[in-house]
Amino acid sequence: KAGVTQTPRYLIKTRGQQVTLSCSPISGHRSVSWYQQTPGQGLQFLFEYFSETQRNKGNFPGRFSGRQFSNSRSEMNVSTLELGDSALYLCASSLDRDRGTYNEQFFGPGTRLTVL
Amino acid sequence: GNSVTQMEGPVTLSEEAFLTINCTYTATGYPSLFWYVQYPGEGLQLLLKATKADDKGSNKGFEATYRKETTSFHLEKGSVQVSDSAVYFCASGGGSYIPTFGRGTSLIVHP
């Protein structure tokens, strides 16, 4: 079974531009979460989508948005890029997330975004 | 809000040494607790988990026990190998809890 794939693997953008990152979850997984990883802040939760609906959101500004398609693939968008947005963006998928239980998350390799 | 604190690295050990990476958490209620491992150039992989107090998670020789009284979930391994060199993340979450990760602890094992 193929793992979580993320495209592109590397991106270089300039301040003020916008960027779209893509994530394809493991087949059959309906929950997709996004994380930002930086040396200074560590791993921070951005948002989670399940069945095309945002189910949870971390503490990030509105410039960060996402969506999920009917095939569970997900995209995240960052508008008006800032230097501080440079990070590794990780996507994780899981079968489901019932309240009170935990389903293992499978992470992709990430997209390395550099903002100049 | 919820938070996870883990010891800073790098932790440098010789092969076959005993490993402990400390992790403590703050949360309202009782989240599930996890250890993830990240090898260079890869995403995180779930190493082990515990979903309630006194549960012990174990995998590949690694163990961690959910201690409610000390709000801790320390990772241990009796004899590390060079192949264990990676970054280890402690995390809380599950159910209605937003996942919260520690900063990560780099482990370097020398032959």
Per-position pLDDT tens, chain B of length 111: 678 999 888 999 999 999 999 999 998 778 889 999 999 888 899 999 998 899 999 999 999 999 999 999 999 999 999 999 999 999 998 666 678 889 999 999 999
Residue B111 forms contact with A (CB below 8 Å): no
> Which residues in chain B (10-29) have CB-CB distances under 8 A to chain A?
none
Q: Determine contact, residues A34/A10, Cβ cutoff 8 Å.
A: no
Cα of B79 vs its chain's centroid, Å: 16
Show the beta-strand stretches assigned E in B1-111: 3-6, 11-14, 19-21, 23-26, 32-38, 44-50, 56-59, 62-65, 75-77, 86-94, 97-101, 105-110
> Which residues in chain A (76-105) have CB-CB distances under 8 A to chain B?
90, 92, 97-102, 104-105
Tell me which H or E stretch contains A54: strand A53-57
Distance from CA of B38 to the nearest CA of A (A): 10
> Which residues in chain B (26-55) have CB-CB distances under 8 A to chain A?
32, 34, 36, 41-46, 49, 51
pLDDT-wise least confident of A11-20, A42-51, A69-78, B81-90: A42-51
Measure the CA–CA gap between B46 and B37, rounded to whole angstroms: 7
Residue A40 forms contact with B (CB below 8 Å): no
